[in-house]
Amino acid sequence: MGLLAELLADLTMTEVPLLNTGSIEVIRSLGAPFYYRMLVSHEPIDETLAEQAAAAAIAAAKAGTLHTRSPANR
């Protein structure tokens, strides 16, 4: 199973604390490394990056660190 599929499976199988996990925060966590490479480091975007980004997003979501933002913090 690919890491993106694993992330989606974890989210749907509630291995992630869904009550306080913000879906937008999961997407930001997943996408940030791509934007960093495109706009800052100009390194290639490859499959390794995709795997690392997905693994980091999975770990952060499972650890409960991707909380829903309150309106005051947006």
Model pLDDT, residue 25 = 84
The C-alpha atoms of residue 74 and residue 58 are separated, in whole angstroms, by 23
Model pLDDT, residue 14 = 55
Model pLDDT, residue 41 = 97
Model pLDDT, residue 51 = 86
Cβ(61)–Cβ(21) under 8 Å? yes
The C-alpha atoms of residue 61 and residue 49 are separated, in whole angstroms, by 18
The C-alpha atoms of residue 41 and residue 17 are separated, in whole angstroms, by 33
For 36-62, the pLDDT digits (tens) are 999 999 999 998 998 899 889 888 888
Decide if pLDDT at 26 tops 70. yes
Decide if pLDDT at 34 tops 90. yes
Strand partners, 67: 21
